[in-house]
Amino acid sequence: MKGFFWRRRGLRRLTALSLAGCLCAPGWGQNSIDDLINASLEELANIQVTSVSKKEQTLSKAGAAVFVITQEDIRRSGMMNIPDLLRMVPGVNVARLDSNTWAISIRGFNDRYSNKVLVLIDGRSVYSENFSGVFWDQLNVPLEDIERIEVIRGPGGTVWGANAMNGVIDIITKSSKDTQGGLMTAQTGSAENLGGLLQYAGEIGDKGTYRVFGNYFNVASSDLSAGVQGADGWHGSSGGFRSDWNLSASDTLTVQGDLSQTAEGQTLTSVIVSQLPLTRTFNELMTVGAGDLQAQYEHTFSNGSELTWRTYFDRVRRLDEAEETEADADTGLQYHFRIGTRNDLMAGAGYRLTNSSYVGLYDTFFVPDRSRDSLFSVFLQDEIELTHNLALTFGSKLEHNAFTGFEYEPSLQLVWTPRDRQSVWFSAARAIRQPALLDENVNIAAAVVPFPNSAFGVAEISGNPGLKAETMLDYELGYRNQVNRRMSFDVTTFLSDYSDLRTEDPGAPFFTLDPGPPHLVLPSTWGNLARARDYGGELSASWDVTGWWRLSSGFSLLHMNITPTPPSTALADASVGASPKHQAQLRSSVKLSHRVEWDTSAYFVGALSEGPVPAYTRLDTRVGWTMDRSLYFSVSGQNLLTPRHFEFLNGYQVHPTEVERSIVGKITWRF
């Protein structure tokens, strides 16, 4: 639900134009338009084209910091999972904790449980309402089926609602119409990983198409430290379908569903509340099962206005020492229409029911351990064409959630397009992070503190039913320029004021007999006792050096300033030192011939004082080779600069493992 409002409106425009193009070898020179004019129709139909400016073109009018990862970017990156793909987006910090756990955030506040970025797959939220945050191991979408990933840095609450605070990541899969035929991939490599996909897409009558797929992967364990192997290996399989129907010229229907199951290892240290003062370090296997079913129906009225209805159900079960489940049923209507010639409006309403439970065993418990919550939302946004080159968009979402009641998330965007392919934009918005079940119900035995004479204390964190939503007021100024057909850049600066950030506030120690032997409890509770003022900027640029060589680069700067109010001393979930101040990316895509492509990427991530984790540069290179229309090979080397390095150390109970240098080969067969 969150998701599809804005996606349909703002990014709809991207849809038509963001088909992946290719960077191809020169054949026709720059001034060859006359050669083309004189070419026969058959020749024209056989020319490979380069699509340079599409992304920039369609992005040029968005009043937000948008970055689009296209299918071509995905293929040419050689990355094997969605978290790694996000490394190419300036302003996004991706840190691998172990091979199945990531800390990912946009514009700071990174943490294993970072909670300020909303993630959607085809408009379906995969943000956990239990824990606040995203479990990245649940995102098992076949990368070949992704049409694009749209990443919006900055708030998107007006259209997406709560938790779209520091950004939104929307993973959009291809229509089954665009994946007709069969597809098989197989990959194998050194450290990671073994995997394969088998897929077939066909037609149903003359109005419908379908796709079914199944995939499997297996990733080996990596090291806890040199020579000490961890237990973070994992494997999983998933299957799914998507069916797209043109019911009539004005009605379309899409139905899709997935099932996935993974088994993941981890090494943890946990307090065992039933055997206090025992704290154990052990390897554990977790299984994660997830399923979803979604339908989207769209009707276009004769006056051109559009009505979209979307409904989905999804359920996730994560089973380790604890059993956590979350099931959502979500439905929403959205209406896009115009008033006069200057007003383009979008209105919507939605409802979501979440059933969740968490039954703990060792150190984390929810009291009560299950809940059923409703979320209601309405939304209105108007884009007004003030003059031929100045557009104003404003609107707000109004939500009612089970934790904090009514919340509103207004925004305003002004986009000035003084010339073709050049724009200046300003935005101001309010966004919130809604408390999750964890914030109200949790009870965590975080650590055992030994005292003399075998006495001990237990540091406990407990939920707070009175917790307020975290709020953010954000101001951004951006400039985009497509300098010429070969060069473009995009600069964004932001200033974000946060208030009521979640803190861990110490309370008065007390003695207890239950559970376990008599001991001192050092309690703390969640509170809203911190403010923050962050500022920074991101730059991304792309340059087609020649017809066959493209360079893309990104740079981001972040300054965080968190101010806790006593008695609180720190945020509950993220510290300033857990997010890098600087990050930079440079990607080179070379078309060696029309059959061979060679890509190299370097990703620099600044040092983290939390850990500490030294700055590192990840270097990947890849050669892809088209044998013929149906067969494609690639070989990628990843993390080439160092044999092993850590990216993030604070995993709460989970022990971090090292990212290792690896090489992977892959074959793709279309039939």
Partner 1 sequence: MAVLNPVPEAWLVPVLVRGILVLLGTMVPGAAQGQTADEYQVKAAYMYNLAKFVDWPSDAFESPSQPIAFCVLGQTPLSRPLEDALAGKVVGQRPLVFHQLSDSNQAGGCRVLFIGLADKIRLRQTLDQVKSLHVLTVGEAADFTGEGGIVRFFLDEGRVRLEFNLDAADDAKLRVSSKLLSLGKIVRRVGR
Nearer to partner 1, 334 or 364 (CB): 334
Nearer to partner 1, 137 or 383 (CB): 383
**CA-to-CA distance for 561 and 627, rounded, in angstroms?**
53
Min. distance of Cβ 486 from partner 1 in angstroms? Answer: 10
Min. distance of Cβ 173 from partner 1 in angstroms? Answer: 15
Binding mask 276-305 for partner 1 (x = CB under 8 A): ------------------------x-x-xx
For partner 1 (CB under 8 A), the number of binding residues is: 61
Q: Binding of partner 1 at residue 340 (CB under 8 A)?
A: no
Q: What is the 3-state secondary structure (H, E, C) of 100-159?
A: CEEEEEECCCCCCCCCCEEEEECCEECECCCCCCECHHHCCCCHHHEEEEEEEECCCHHH
DSSP string, 360-419: -SSSEEESSSEEEEEEEEEEEEEEEEEETTEEEEEEEEEEEETTTEEEEEEEEEEEEEEE
**By CB under 8 A, which span of 226-234, 439-447, 494-502, 627-635 interacts with partner 1?**
627-635
CA angle 157, 161, 164 (to 5 degrees): 55
| Beta partners for residue 280, in sequence order | 270
Min. distance of Cβ 335 from partner 1 in angstroms? Answer: 12
Q: Binding of partner 1 at residue 594 (CB under 8 A)?
A: yes
Nearer to partner 1, 113 or 625 (CB): 625
Q: Binding of partner 1 at residue 50 (CB under 8 A)?
A: yes
CA angle 628, 633, 638 (to 5 degrees): 155
| Beta partners for residue 553, in sequence order | 541, 586
**CA-to-CA distance for 460 and 445, rounded, in angstroms?**
5
Q: Binding of partner 1 at residue 68 (CB under 8 A)?
A: no
Min. distance of Cβ 79 from partner 1 in angstroms? Answer: 22
Nearer to partner 1, 83 or 547 (CB): 547
Among 549, 625, 652, 669, binds partner 1 (CB under 8 A): 625
Q: Binding of partner 1 at residue 36 (CB under 8 A)?
A: yes
Nearer to partner 1, 15 or 512 (CB): 15
Nearer to partner 1, 51 or 331 (CB): 51
Q: Binding of partner 1 at residue 203 (CB under 8 A)?
A: no
Among 4, 5, 6, 53, binds partner 1 (CB under 8 A): 53
Nearer to partner 1, 49 or 390 (CB): 49
Provide the CA 421 distance to its chain's centre, in angstroms.
28
Among 57, 140, 481, 585, binds partner 1 (CB under 8 A): 57
Among 347, 414, 520, 596, binds partner 1 (CB under 8 A): 596
**By CB under 8 A, which span of 154-162, 280-288, 444-452, 594-602 interacts with partner 1?**
594-602
Cβ partners under 8 Å of residue 388, min gap 6: none
Q: Binding of partner 1 at residue 184 (CB under 8 A)?
A: no
Q: Please, are residues 521 and 458 in contact by the beta-carbon 8 Å criterion? A: yes
- Tokens 């964890």, residue located: 438
**CA-to-CA distance for 119 and 136, rounded, in angstroms?**
10
**CA-to-CA distance for 671 and 668, rounded, in angstroms?**
10
Q: Binding of partner 1 at residue 33 (CB under 8 A)?
A: yes
Min. distance of Cβ 45 from partner 1 in angstroms? Answer: 5
Min. distance of Cβ 279 from partner 1 in angstroms? Answer: 53
Min. distance of Cβ 34 from partner 1 in angstroms? Answer: 8
**CA-to-CA distance for 303 and 393, rounded, in angstroms?**
22
- Tokens 């989207």, residue located: 296
**CA-to-CA distance for 150 and 136, rounded, in angstroms?**
16
**By CB under 8 A, which span of 13-21, 153-161, 311-319, 457-465 interacts with partner 1?**
13-21
Provide the CA 167 distance to its chain's centre, in angstroms.
9
Among 202, 255, 289, 306, binds partner 1 (CB under 8 A): 306
Q: Please, are residues 350 and 329 in contact by the beta-carbon 8 Å criterion? A: no
Tokens of 592: 């060696």
**CA-to-CA distance for 332 and 346, rounded, in angstroms?**
13
* 426, burial (CB in 10 Å: exposed 0-12, middle 13-18, buried 19+): middle
Min. distance of Cβ 140 from partner 1 in angstroms? Answer: 27
Q: Binding of partner 1 at residue 485 (CB under 8 A)?
A: yes
Binding mask 131-170 for partner 1 (x = CB under 8 A): ----------------------------------------
Q: Letter for the amino acid at 256? A: Q
Residue 72 sits at φ, ψ, to 5 deg, of -65, -40
Q: Binding of partner 1 at residue 70 (CB under 8 A)?
A: no
Among 340, 388, 452, 508, binds partner 1 (CB under 8 A): 388
**CA-to-CA distance for 312 and 332, rounded, in angstroms?**
9
**CA-to-CA distance for 461 and 471, rounded, in angstroms?**
22
| Beta partners for residue 669, in sequence order | 184, 631
Q: Binding of partner 1 at residue 226 (CB under 8 A)?
A: no
Nearer to partner 1, 9 or 318 (CB): 9
Q: Binding of partner 1 at residue 55 (CB under 8 A)?
A: no
**By CB under 8 A, which span of 335-343, 396-404, 464-472, 613-621 interacts with partner 1?**
335-343
Q: Binding of partner 1 at residue 43 (CB under 8 A)?
A: yes
Among 339, 386, 627, 641, binds partner 1 (CB under 8 A): 627
> Going by DSSP bridges, is the β-strand pair 405-419/323-339 parallel, antiparallel, or unpaired?
unpaired
DSSP conformation class of 9:
I
Q: List residues binding partner 1 (CB under 8 A).
A: 12-17, 19, 21-22, 24-28, 32-33, 36-37, 39, 41-54, 57-58, 246, 249-250, 300, 302, 304-306, 336-338, 344, 388, 420-421, 485, 547, 592-596, 625, 627-629
